[in-house]
Structure 1
Amino acid sequence: MDPLGLRKSVRHLNRYQEILKTFVKYGFWDVVEKIRTGLVFDISQKIWPHMKKKELAVLGTPVRLRMAFEELGPTFIKLGQMLSLRPDLIPPPIAQELTKLQDEVAPVSFAKLKPLLEEIYADDFWKIFAEFDETALAAASIAQVYRAKLKNGEEVAVKILRPNIHQIIETDLEILFNLAELMAKYVPESELYDPVGVVTEFSRTIRREQNLVIEGRNIEIFRRHLQKENYIKIPLVYWEYSSEKVLVTEFVHGFKISDLSALDNAQIDRKKVAENGARAILQQIFELGLFHADPHPGNLFVLPGNVIAPVDFGMIGRIDEEMKEDLLEIMQGIVNKDARQITRVLLNIELIEDQVNFRNFEHDLLDYLDRYYGVPLKQLNAAQLLNEFMELVRNYRIKLPPDMVMMGKALAISEAVGRQLYPEFNMFDLLIPYTKKMFYQRWNPAYRYRLLSRMWQSSSDLLKSLPEDIRNLLVKFRKDQFTVRFQHQGLDHLTRELDRSSNRISFALIIAALIIGSSMLIQLDTVPFLWGYPALGIIGYLLASILGFWLIIAILRSG
């Protein structure tokens, strides 16, 4: 049987060692020590000298993790940014620290991007662009953005994927999957964070970001639904010049939302901008069902007239009708201070595992609701509410849908940006009207009709398939083909230990056999001789000594 990840480990050996060395360098030797038994190469001797650094002694785990991600490059920076949006998976201090990861890197020279542009546009490049500024406006880990002008005089932003980025990311993803599997196998406490699930979700996100057509479609959806709104500006996509590796959009002339002095100089109404930013994210969530999942200040510009102009639509979230219905049930439970209703909703959508102590969960949830029930809106802080709720979620191992978590995080970021613009801004002043509107919509005849139609369709499909399913089940019974599968839980560790112990016993028996056989050979005067004794006996002793020493070292290393 091939050892776990043998081909993967050997194929990218240098990158494996670079990653593991970096984590040890920043003080994560305990995790590396646990997973290295599943690797096909021994890295301990090479990276041990880097384990302790005095300058890291005063730094906490969140800072050291962020520094390790920064050093490891684009894939890990993107992973850290995604984790910063998932406070349901990681503690708030780590999530907060990972928000500091800046997706800004030194730009690749334009000369290295020219072959890609020539491949896509061939000889039409200068027929399309009248001007093209070869200095990058922004350089991120996956793509770079340039300013250009079309032949018709329109200014555009040209986003181009970095050279070989696909191969770089795929290599790191392959390694991350293998390391996640090793963590799940050898680090029991990592079960709380679901490393394999995190890497699976991350791989889907980052692969989508490498296809700029997907980002262009996202922009188009937002533009189609919001183009009549006068408070938000969504850029136009030039599809005739765009592809999977190049995205050409309308250039946005505006001020960064974080540049407060520039906003003041332009006589921008900061309070209105804060309200428009919050209104934008709320309308996306509750009306469009598609929202910008990373509305941090670097992705938001402000145009004259207090208009919000979001950019970078690579990371989006979706809220479908079913999830909206679940959210409404949860909100109703919050309003009525009904912890049991909230628990029932979470159970119905299979977010709570059977092992959870429901009585304790409802008690802690009620305690959480009591702390904020009746508190004036101006005293509420969305980020604080979210962090405390996510702590409750983590403690009881509740796995919320990623889009639901990103929605909460997007609202918290939007409130933080709003308060930076206008300290007295409160997200709840705008959130409550939207939730009331959703509650009223539940009793709208058209909405009830759609809901009943879906229920009728589901019931009809079930009734249609039920006779056939019962027939197939009875046929399996009759032909003795009906099987029941049992899946054990919690025995993996015991199985590994028993397997390890049996291997050591077998190894010890081989060593004992070598010693006994060599002793018998020593008693015989058989040629050839070595140092006056039969050579085969001496060789047997040496081999037994080497194997015995190896066995002792293995036992000491693994405890």
Structure 2
Amino acid sequence: MSVATYFRLAWAGFVLAREGAFSLAEDQPIPPAAKFLVKCARIIEKRAVRKTGRVDRLANGLTRLGPTYVKFGQLLATRADIVGIGVASDLSKLQDAMPPFDEKLVPGLLRQALGDKVDQLKDISPPIAAASIAQVHRAKLVDPDGREQDVAVKLLRPGIRARFKSDLDGLYALARVAERFVPNAGRFNGKRVVDALARSAQLEMDLRMEAAAISELADNCADDDRFALPHIHWSHTARSVLTTSWIDAIPVREVEALDKAGIDRPKLAETLIQSFLRQAIRDGYFHADMHPGNLFADPKTGGIIAVDLGIMGRIGKAERRFLAEILYGFIARDYKRIAQLHFDIGYVPPDQSVDDFAQALRAIGEPLVGRAADEISMAKVLGQLLETTEVFNMSARPELVLLQKNMVLVEGTARILDPRFNMWHAAEPIVGEWVRRQVGPLGRLELAKEGLDEALSLARRLPKLADSAERVLTRIERDQTRSEKREGLVMALKWGGLIALVLAIVVLGLNIMDRF
């Protein structure tokens, strides 16, 4: 690790200490040496931060450190099994918002990315939104026929790739140190968390990947009512620039504007939840950053328009079945089924008790029965589930991390639209249909078809496999024959050398005798 990396880590520690972030560790089960270091760090804490809550303390520190640390904080928000439910909840409120960079740089950056095509972009506005990696401008796109249309132009921050690379070096070093002091280190691989951040950032910093994500999700949701995405202008999209159609819609957080437009907010919340669940359960590919700033209400349709698809989630069919049956199990209060699923998919070690795990799940689900809709929080249920699985030595599942985070975001957004929203009731039609399809005759036929397809694929590969096996066996036999010949030659040489040595001794003895 370079000297510069050490300096960056020292600066990060100083900023976090000044903002009071280390106060979060005081009540944690950490070794005495770590507790002493925390007390030392709190000496330089600002007096003003003692009056603020934990959210402000940690969020302010990460925001001051820049985009990499903001992204890292958002990623840790998905790991309640490591940082605890309270801290994860605080971090989930961390906003990915930064001051915009100098707009005088925009024309040069656009020309560098688009070449002469930049001349078709007119009336580029000052930045209307700025995040850690990119910022957005409004502009007019003039086609060769002179027709104009409003577009949104997303532009990467200058130097952001180099900034992320240098910060990631420090985070890797920090992760190695943290693993020595963070409880439950067996369930947490610090390097894996930073790997996930590096991978996510790499994808986010290539805006062509976001364009492809919009395209794929639009294809998946083409027949879905009341859910839409912006149109991509591929001719004006490059690695550092993304150009899409401009969205004339109302941000979902502007409740008064929604009411003035006559939009049915409870219906909009239901559309949001069901759209997300269709993406996750039906398609296995979902928008993984559904916070209110990325969601708009279309006054024409009363539906949802989603933007900023830099972070996407993808889960396999086995995980989709698992998710659907878990949700449906809580809805139907079938705790034994939920417990058995954890064991069947290998999430909980076989040396644990299914019945005991079912009992623990019942302790989570039963308090929900009979409660008002506004009192039922899926976020809390997920947090309790993480705590319970920790007791039963369940390993953290990276493939479900973004899904868990986004379910919390979606629920929070839905409750902005409708404070009495019942997420479980809205989820039942989507989840129930999937479960009934999977466990019913059609689902069994699909499973049988998958098995048959695998068998046919194996059958088609058998001749090649047989040829490969024959070549391997021939090579082994040839190598064995060579080895046997080599061993025979070695033995012959050994015996020949021994005989030669004996003969030499005899000859030498005879010569000596002749001399006497």
Q: TM-score, normalised by structure 1?
A: 0.72
**Residue of structure 1 aligned with 2:429, choices 406, 429, 433:** 433
Structure 2 match to 1:533: none
Deviations 1:7-32 (A, max 9, x none): x232434312211222333363989x
Q: What residue number does 2:61 align with?
A: 68
Distance 1:270 1:328, change over 3 A: closer
Distance 1:67 1:426, change over 3 A: same
Matched, 1:79 2:75: no
Q: 2:124 aligns with which of 116, 129, 132?
A: 132
Partner of 1:404: 400
Separation (CA, whole Å) in 1 of partners of 2:184 and 2:444:
46
Contact 2:343 2:350 (C-alpha < 8 Å) held by counterparts: no
User: What residue is the counterpart of 2:107 in the other structure?
Assistant: 114
Q: Does the 8 Å contact 1:159/1:248 carry over to 2?
A: yes
Task: Name whichever of 219-228 and 135-144 sits farther off.
Answer: 219-228
SS in 1 for 2:2: helix
Asked if the contact 1:184–1:194 (Cα under 8 Å) also holds between the matched residues in 2, the reply is yes
Q: 1:226 to 1:456 in 2, by over 3 A?
A: closer
Q: Which residue of 2 aligns with 1:383?
A: 379
What per-residue deviation string (whole Å, max 9, x for no partner) do you get for residues 410-465 of structure 1?
33432332232223322222211112211232256664344224334556778967
1:28 and 2:22 matched: yes
Does the residue aligned with 1:148 lie in a helix, a strand or coil?
Answer: strand
What TM-score results when the alignment is normalised by the length of structure 2? 0.78
C-alpha distance in 1 between matches for 2:416 and 2:53: 27
Look up the equivalent residue of 2:280 and give its one-letter code. Answer: I
Q: Look up the SS of the partner of 1:21 in the other structure.
A: helix
Instruction: Give 1:242 shift.
Output: 0.3
Cα deviations by residue, 1:453-501 (Å, 9 ceiling, x for unpaired): 43345567789679959x98xx79x99xxxxxxxxxxxxxxxxxxxxxx
Give 2:483's aligned residue.
Answer: none
- Checking the alignment, whether the CA contact within 8 Å between 1:268 and 1:304 is kept in structure 2 is yes
Matches within 5 A, 1:152-191: 152-185=147-180, 190-191=185-186
What does residue 195 of structure 1 align with? 190
Judge conservation of contact 1:227–1:234 (CA < 8 Å) in 2. Answer: no
Other-structure match for 2:139? 148
Call closer, same or farther: CA 1:191–1:179 in 2, change over 3 Å: farther
Q: Which position in structure 1 is the counterpart of 2:346?
A: 350
Report the alpha carbon displacement of residue 222 of structure 1 after superposing the two structures with TM: 1.8
1:545 alignment counterpart: none
Give the match for residue 255 of structure 1: 250
Please say if residues 117 and 236 of structure 2, whose CA atoms lie closer than 8 Å, have aligned partners that are also in contact. Answer: no
Q: 2:91, 2:111 → 1: CA distance?
A: 38
Amino acid corresponding to residue 66 of structure 2 in structure 1:
G
Q: Which residue of structure 1 aligns with residue 93 of structure 2? A: 100
Letter in 2 for 1:388: Q
- Contact between 2:155 and 2:240, CA under 8 Å: does it hold in 1? yes
Give, in angstroms, the shift of residue 157 of structure 1: 0.3
Preserved contact between residue 141 and residue 150 of structure 2 (Cα < 8 Å): yes
Give the Cα–Cα distance (whole angstroms) in 1 for the partners of residues 394 and 73 of structure 2. 21
Task: Give the SS at the match of 2:342.
Answer: helix
| Paired residues for 1:361-510 under 5 Å | 361-372=357-368, 380-442=376-438, 447-456=443-452, 458=454
Structure 1 pair 335/48, CA: closer, same or farther in 2 (3 Å)? closer
CA distance in 2, matches of 1:234, 1:460: 39
Equivalence for 1:16: 9
Give 2:310's match in structure 1, choosing from 295, 308, 314. Answer: 314
Runs of at least 5 residues in structure 2 that lack an aligned partner in the other structure = 481-516
Gaps of 5+ in 1: 1-7, 38-43, 480-559
* CA displacement, residues 173-214 of structure 1 (integer Å, 9 cap, x when unaligned): 111111111222465654454322221222211211111111
The alpha carbon displacement at 1:146 in A equals: 0.5
SS at match of 2:95: coil
* Paired position in structure 2 for 1:215: 210
Residue 269 of structure 1: how far off its partner (Å) = 2.1
CA contact (8 A) 1:160 1:245 kept: yes
Q: Letter of the aligned partner of 1:198 in structure 2?
A: V
Higher relative contact order (CA 8 A, sep 6+): 2
Cα distance in structure 2, aligned partners of 1:249 and 1:111: 22
Q: Cα 1:69–1:414, aligned 2, differ >3 Å: closer, same or farther? A: same
Which whole-Å deviations, capped at 9, do the CAs of 1:97-136 have from their partners, x for residues lacking one? 112322111111122233321212333322x223322x00
Distance of aligned partners of 1:217 and 1:303 in 2 relative to their CA distance in 1, 3 Å threshold? same
Task: In structure 2, give the amino acid aligned to 1:132.
Answer: I
Paired residue secondary structure (1:12): helix
Q: Is the contact made by 1:85 and 1:409 (CA closer than 8 Å) also made in structure 2?
A: yes
Following the alignment from structure 1 to structure 2, what is the Cα–Cα distance between the partners of residues 457 and 311? Answer: 38
Trace 1:528-539 onto structure 2 (pairs within 5 A). Answer: none
Q: 1:333 to 1:57 in 2, by over 3 A?
A: same
In 2 relative to 1, CA 52–286 (structure 1 residues): closer, same or farther, beyond 3 Å? closer
**Structure-2 change in CA distance of 1:121 and 1:27 (3 Å):** closer
Question: What SS is found at the alignment partner of 2:163?
Answer: helix
How many residues align structurally?
A: 455
Look up the SS of the partner of 2:228 in the other structure: coil
- Alpha-carbon RMSD across the aligned residues, in angstroms, is 3.5
Q: Distance in 2 between matches of 1:149 and 1:120?
A: 17
Can you list the C-alpha shifts for 1:336-363, whole angstroms capped at 9, x where unaligned? 7555543443234332347767665443
